[in-house]
Amino acid sequence: MTAIRPFALALDRLTSVGLRPTRQRMALARLLFESGDRHLTAEQLYDEAVSAHMPVSLATVYNTLHQFTEAGLLREVVVEAGRSYFDTNTSSHHHFFDQRRGYLIDIPGNVLEGIDLPTPPEGMRITRVDMVIHMQPALSGEEADASGAERADANGAESRRAA
């Protein structure tokens, strides 16, 4: 029985896309890819690296994530200005984004089948469609009533200021 080297998966992934397997890339690749498909921020990966006693800076984590993305090992999912997640699942799919808890949930890529996409400008072609649906917990009946009353009060105050 042949034993699998601890870094074999990471090494195979990096070399398959032409990235040099440096010590830090190998360590971060292990953290990223040996736990199955996942979504995480650079800060979350940095925290995992620190917990695993890996000597790496946050800047190195950012640089490595962007190198992995450019090489096709990751997808960057921008949920709002200045807030990105990195997805180890590079297949065609979309996401729900839980705004309160700050996490992504995969949506199968085929949900856009049958939707008419706009025609791109002349000389351009659509290469990929990424959809992120932002969500938050639904309000209960009382919370919805209170929230509606707050909006009405705020709108009334705005209307009075405008008059």
Total domain count for the chain? 1
Give the model confidence (pLDDT) of 106-141 as tens digits. Answer: 998 787 777 888 999 999 998 888 888 899 998 766
Q: What is the distance between the alpha carbons of residues 38 and 162, in angstroms, rounded to a whole number? A: 48
pLDDT at 114: 75
pLDDT at 163: 41
Cα–Cα nearest to 107, from 82, 84, 77: 77
Q: What is the mean pLDDT of each run of 10 residues along the chain (163 residues)?
A: 66 89 92 90 96 95 96 93 92 90 87 82 89 86 54 45 42
- Is residue 155 in a domain? no
- Is residue 3 in a domain? no
pLDDT at 124: 95
- Is residue 40 in a domain? yes
- Is residue 158 in a domain? no
Cα–Cα nearest to 133, from 81, 102, 95: 95
- Is residue 121 in a domain? no
- Is residue 75 in a domain? yes
- Is residue 42 in a domain? yes
| b/e code 90-118 from CB counts within 10 Å (16+ = b) | eeebbbebeeeeebbeeeeeeeeeeeeee
Amino acid at 35: S
pLDDT at 125: 93
- Is residue 152 in a domain? no
| b/e code 66-89 from CB counts within 10 Å (16+ = b) | ebbbeeebbbebebeeeebbbbbe
Segments forming the whole domain that contains residue 30? 8-110+126-136
Q: What is the distance between the alpha carbons of residues 96 and 115, in angstroms, rounded to a whole number? A: 18
Task: Look at phi and psi of residue 61 and say left if phi exceeds 0, alpha if psi is from -120 to 50, else beta.
Answer: alpha
Q: What is the CATH number of the domain that holds 105?
A: 1.10.10.10
pLDDT at 6: 61
> What pTM value is reported for the model?
0.75
Mean pLDDT of all residues belonging to the chain: 83
